[in-house]
Structure 1
Amino acid sequence: MRIKKSVIWIFGVLIGVLILFTAAVITFGSTVHSDLKGNIQQKLGAFMDKKADANQFNGVVLVAKDGKVLFEKGYGFANSEEGVPNQIDTEFRIASLTKSFTAVSILQLENQGKLKTSDPISKYIANFPNGDKITIHDLLTHSSGVADHLKLTDTTQPITMAAFIDLMRKQKLEFSPGSEYKYSNTGYMILADIIETVSGESYGDYYQDHIFKPAGMYHTYLRKAETKKFALGYENMRKITERDDESQLAGYGDIISTVHDLLKYNNAIQNDKLLSTLQVEKMETGYIDSASWGIFKYGYGWNVADNFISFGRPLIEHNGSLPGYKSDLADFVKDRVTVIVLSNNHGTWNTGELSRELASICLGKRFWFYQKYF
């Protein structure tokens, strides 16, 4: 009888500990933003103001619902030395958000019957090592195995597309195409060359004619010299000296834009103005794991999720990072909640964490501590 009572007592203690632990996790391991007052816009503003003060956020944030702006605000300085503030129309380097523009271009050309994502790149680039084994799909999904050109050239110097391709012809594959995921800026630069070969235009002109203009993006450029209200880059608010020549970022990191233009771009995609519904689905399908445990999968120019990291809602997201700059665009495609973050203060902060927590306020979802690490 004593043994049974002891077992019951131990079991009761364990249940009590479990309840306390669960309560602690819910209380301290997540945020429901119940302290925020007012309507959605006021809640977003209060949260972002506090976040900016705590994390020294410097940049512009936009949150939209159904393609229309809910909240937008600039923080800090576009030029700290001269006291020029970041405003809604400030222009930033968007870094790797550029990749989705390249993916859109490829899918447009496929729709025109000028290429197929299943094509080997040998069809468009002669004498490329293992070009008959590498497909356009492999390049789009970072599974091509091509070497990193940034380790093979002086990135501070200009490079022509022809010289870049010649450089890559001398390299060996790092792994068998399609066998694994390895994030590759180089793959998207090769895609830019294919766009030029197939379209007969420079990839920059192609963007301008087939994406920027149709989407109404009149403050989006490929070169800093064209910008009107450019934000200087900082590292923890210390001015940085830009090193990489813009030609070294072709097809994967050389676009400069604003939050409003990026919202127009995202709206044009989701409203089938740039691609057909089937092509959008193809772009937003996850083909290969791009994060631990398959939390994110990579589509064409986007990370894709539909699990706990995205509150159980379909999400496309991509961030960008260059010296002095960070960016993020997250779109909960079924809910049409869009968050765009452009910053000219690089640091250790996580753009995805900020975007998804802002989205959690709109979605009325609890933001858990583990969501900030992806």
Structure 2
Amino acid sequence: MKKILLLFVLALSTSLVAQNRYHKIDSLLNYLNKNDKFMGSISIREGDKVVFSKGYGFADADQKIKADNETKYKVGSISKIFTAVITMQLIEEKKLRLETKLSKYFPKIENADQISIEDLLHHRSGIKDYINQDSLSQEELDKPDLKQTILNKIANYKSIAEPNTKFEYSNSNYYLLGSIIETITKKSFAENLETRIVKKINLKNTYYPSEQVNISNKESYSYLFDGTKWEKTEEWKNDIAYAAGAVISTPNDLTAFLYELFEGKLVKKSSLESMKEIKDSYGKALIQMPFGERKFYGHTGGIESFRSVVGYYPTEKVGISLVVNGDNFNRNDIMIGILSIYYKMPFPFPSFEKINPEKIKEISGVYSSKDIPLKITVFGKDGQLLAQATGQSAFPLTQKNENTFVFQAARIEIEFGEKSFILNQGGQKLNFNLEE
């Protein structure tokens, strides 16, 4: 009897530790949400069981429609894992080979006779990114067949690298793969996603959208915080991102997707091992995301103001997904907090105290730079610190430490010195000096 009682107490103790862990994660996300740093949803899965799932903030901030664990979000480049899985299925069916050259489907693309399907999957094609290294004009966006317009645009690019010589992340690669899937199967990408993945593993809320956001279908808008309120971000047309980033899903579905993928429900073990093969930091739509000695497999995503991540640690069969639709804090920092708490590591909550008025006064002024023909005015308003570049809207700055301030939505970090600051953005460092 004592042994049975001891086991019961031990089981109860373990359960309470787990509940405390999830309670603290919930507290972190509530804290970020109440400080207007975050809106979105989370899912934590252990094996085939969801152990924690919740939504925070609004799916529609204007109508005050709250998010929950069934709210659906655009997941951006996590879509690439779905595209890669379908591609590997076609290879298993001998309808395609990793060695197949792009010239079979797109002969007009430069170096198409040297670029393989494997090169596309690993971002080693040398094809320019139509989103991040180029942009779509309004005239192109207004074309009746936007998908074909983008494919034509990609076909006319000059190569930026020799095929299979280096990793260069390009959404063009997965846009082309989506079109190849449709050509081989004679079905739309949406149909392939539905029959080859969604129905096969019984996902509840994953699909390729046929229209703009539909709140009545529990879909969500994305937002940026303008310093006083959440401002809705303009929607993209779905075919802009297509097979490279337009899938809609939920964190619960994303963790289920990776669990079933690693359990062999979607592709053979040999295909999964091929997807996990890392070349210059990138597999076949799977990247390694280390946390201490643990290595999660997954992907991140960004579209409009949505920021997403899903990771799966095969050794423990643990999957975690976070989708952000209110972007005002670094998603990676939020994930570090979630994982630290989950693995019972110390994690102090960030501080969002008001900036010292004397500090605001000290660093306010007009700054100019020899590096770029742009002036930035730094000023205080209603206790907040703001910055405004010439001809642009003002944006709020959050204090990171004594002399460093960030505007997370644009990934801007400003480090102040004596009558100067360094602006860090996208790997660039620009020096600014206070005008006298």
Q: What is the TM-score with the length of structure 2 in the denominator? A: 0.69
> How far apart are 1:243 and its partner, in Å?
4.5
Give the structure 2 partner of residue 331 of structure 1: 312
Instruction: Measure the CA separation in 1 of the matches of 2:235 and 2:206.
Output: 21
- The residue number in structure 1 matching 2:149 is 163
Query: 1:152 and 1:78, CA in 2 relative to 1: closer, same or farther beyond 3 A?
Result: closer
Secondary structure of the corresponding residue to residue 326 of structure 1:
strand
Give me the whole-angstrom Cα distance separating, in 1, the residues matched to 2:79 and 2:159: 24
Matches within 5 A, 1:29-178: 38-54=16-32, 56-150=37-131, 151-154=134-137, 156-157=141-142, 159-178=145-164
Equivalent of residue 354 in structure 1, options 327, 331, 334: 334
2:407 match: none
1:135 Cα shift?
1.3
Letter in 2 for 1:208: E
Q: Please name the residue that 2:236 is paired with.
A: 244
Match of 2:291 among 310, 314, 318: 310
Give the unaligned 5+ runs of structure 1: 1-36, 289-296
2:176 matched residue in structure 1:
190
Contact 1:157 1:245 (8 Å CA) reproduced: no
Q: Distance in 2 between matches of 1:259 and 1:86?
A: 12
- Match 2:219 to one of 223, 226, 230: 230
Identity %, equivalent residues: 25
Q: Output one character per residue of 1:259-309: Cα deviation in whole Å (capped at 9) or x when no partner.
A: 222232122202111111111111122122xxxxxxxx211112125xxx3
Secondary structure of the residue that 2:167 maps to in structure 1?
coil
2:244 counterpart SS class: coil
Looking at secondary structure, tell me which structure has more helix per residue: 1
- 2:300 equivalent to 1:319: yes
User: Which residue does the alignment assign to 1:279?
Assistant: 271
Select the structure that is richer in strand.
Answer: 2
**Cα offset, 1:48, TM superposition:** 3.4
How many residue pairs get aligned? The number is 322
2:193–2:208 contact (8 Å) kept in structure 1 = no
Equivalences for 1:8-19 in 2 at 5 Å? none
Q: Which runs of 5+ in 2 are unaligned?
A: 1-14, 351-410, 412-436
Q: Deviations over 1:36-68 (max 9, x none)?
A: x94223212223323441462211111111231
Q: In structure 1, what is the equivalent of residue 203 of structure 2?
A: 217
Partner of 1:301: 285
Determine the C-alpha separation between the residues in 2 that align with 1:365 and 1:302: 26
Deviates more, 1:222-231 or 1:91-100: 222-231
Higher relative contact order, structure no. (Cα contacts within 8 Å, ≥ 6 residues apart): 1
Q: Could you tell me how far 1:230 is from its partner in structure 2?
A: 1.1
Inter-CA distance 260–113: structure 2 relative to 1 (3 Å threshold): same
The 1:161/1:323 distance shift into structure 2, 3 A limit, reads closer
Structure 1 residues 234 and 141: CA distance shift in structure 2, 3 A? same
Measure how far apart 1:365 and its partner are: 5.3
Q: What residue number does 1:199 align with?
A: 185
Which moved further from structure 2: 359-368 or 127-136?
A: 359-368
Instruction: For residue 90 of structure 1, give the secondary structure of its aligned residue in structure 2.
Output: coil
- Structure-2 separation of matches of 1:256 and 1:233: 13
